[in-house]
Amino acid sequence: MQIAVVTFDGFNELDSFIASAVINRARPAGVRAYITTPTPSVTSMSGVEVVGQRGLDFITEADVVLIGSGIRTRDIVADPALFGALPLDPSRQLIGAQCSGALVLAKLGLLGSMPVCTDTTSRPFVEDCGVRVLDTPFHTEGPIATAGGCLASLYLGAWAISRTVGEEAARAAVDYVAPVGEKDETVERVFAAIRSAQPVAR
């Protein structure tokens, strides 16, 4: 299973790298994440230049697409050339969004009546699209998941592993990356957040 972690210029390192790193801990189980960029390299919000592992054309091959977050998401959704290069297909892919990535899903019309999680800064822009924003870190319905707050990218990564190669592999990956002495409680917290993220009444 191949996972595209879509990463734009101005990206937040926590959002792209926590998800990709925890997923790559589950490589022995048969899933792999790739930093997927629109240009050969992208520069983070803190000025770190990262060479993309895959281009946006990889999105059509990926089993899972996670949209990272950053400080330029509003520019991205306003750029027809860039935005048109995101051929997401929830009928055959799992799709996740981190923080401002929810704005991408909203603008692509993928959310229907589904509410989302996003960060405080992105919230008004997502709500302007007519999408309801939850006060929780993680929400999923069907093939789509959203996470809010940089460190919730751990939940998005664990969800992607669970849905592709199973919860056992996801628990092992989270256990591996968790702080020493806090492994069990970290695994429980992550999977409690994922389990509680059931469709809500609306």
Binding site for a copy of itself (CB under 8 A): 12-14, 17-18, 20-22, 24, 33, 35, 41, 45-51, 53, 117-120, 135-138, 147-152, 154-155, 176-183, 186, 193
CA distance 104 to 126: 9
Indicate the residue type of 12: N
Q: In this structure, what are the phi and psi dihedrals at residue 178, rounded to the nearest 5 degrees?
A: -65, 155
Q: Which two tokens stand for residue 64?
A: 């899972």
Indicate the residue type of 49: E
Tell the smallest beta-carbon distance from residue 91 to a copy of itself (Å).
29
The neighbouring-strand residues paired with 49 are 43
Pair 38, 82: CB distance under 8 Å = yes
CA distance 88 to 110: 9
Tell the smallest beta-carbon distance from residue 186 to a copy of itself (Å).
7
Tell the smallest beta-carbon distance from residue 18 to a copy of itself (Å).
6
Q: Which two tokens stand for residue 166?
A: 């199973």
Which of residues 79 and 141 has its CB atom nearest to a copy of itself in the complex?
A: 141
Which of residues 139 and 163 has its CB atom nearest to a copy of itself in the complex?
A: 139
Tell the smallest beta-carbon distance from residue 46 to a copy of itself (Å).
5
Which of residues 89 and 195 has its CB atom nearest to a copy of itself in the complex?
A: 195
Which of residues 69 and 93 has its CB atom nearest to a copy of itself in the complex?
A: 69
Which of residues 118 and 140 has its CB atom nearest to a copy of itself in the complex?
A: 118
Phi-psi region of 96 (alpha: psi -120 to 50; beta: other; left: phi over 0): beta
Tell the smallest beta-carbon distance from residue 5 to a copy of itself (Å).
10
